[in-house]
């Protein structure tokens, strides 16, 4: 649980499913599914790999000469 945003989205989606199981007359299947889908999508949008750019591991393969060489080969 390193990213609080994805954890929150997942916990809220789970709470909706549980609330539907407890109070099916109040939380309909369609409502629970719709809101859960939005929360899961939001969680996926804010998700990222913790050890890539912006994380804790440097991108040691980021070499500009490779980009130049690749551009020459594309011509």
Domain range list for the chain: 1-49
Helical pair 29-46 and 4-22, crossing angle rounded to 10 deg: 170
Six token digits for residue 74: 């594309």
pTM here is 0.56
Q: How confident is the model at residue 22 (pLDDT cuts 50, 70, 90)?
A: very high
32 neighbors 20 (Cβ within 8 angstroms): yes
Average pLDDT of the chain to the nearest whole number: 76
- pLDDT(54) > 80: no
68 neighbors 27 (Cβ within 8 angstroms): no
């Amino acid at each position: 649980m390193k990213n609080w945003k994805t954890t929150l989205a997942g916990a809220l989606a789970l709470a909706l499913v549980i609330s539907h199981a407890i109070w099916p007359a109040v939380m309909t299947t369609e409502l629970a599914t719709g809101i859960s889908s939005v929360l899961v999508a939001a969680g996926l949008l804010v998700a990222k790999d913790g050890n890539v750019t912006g994380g804790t591991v440097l991108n040691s393969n980021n070499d500009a000469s490779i980009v130049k060489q690749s551009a020459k080969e594309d011509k």
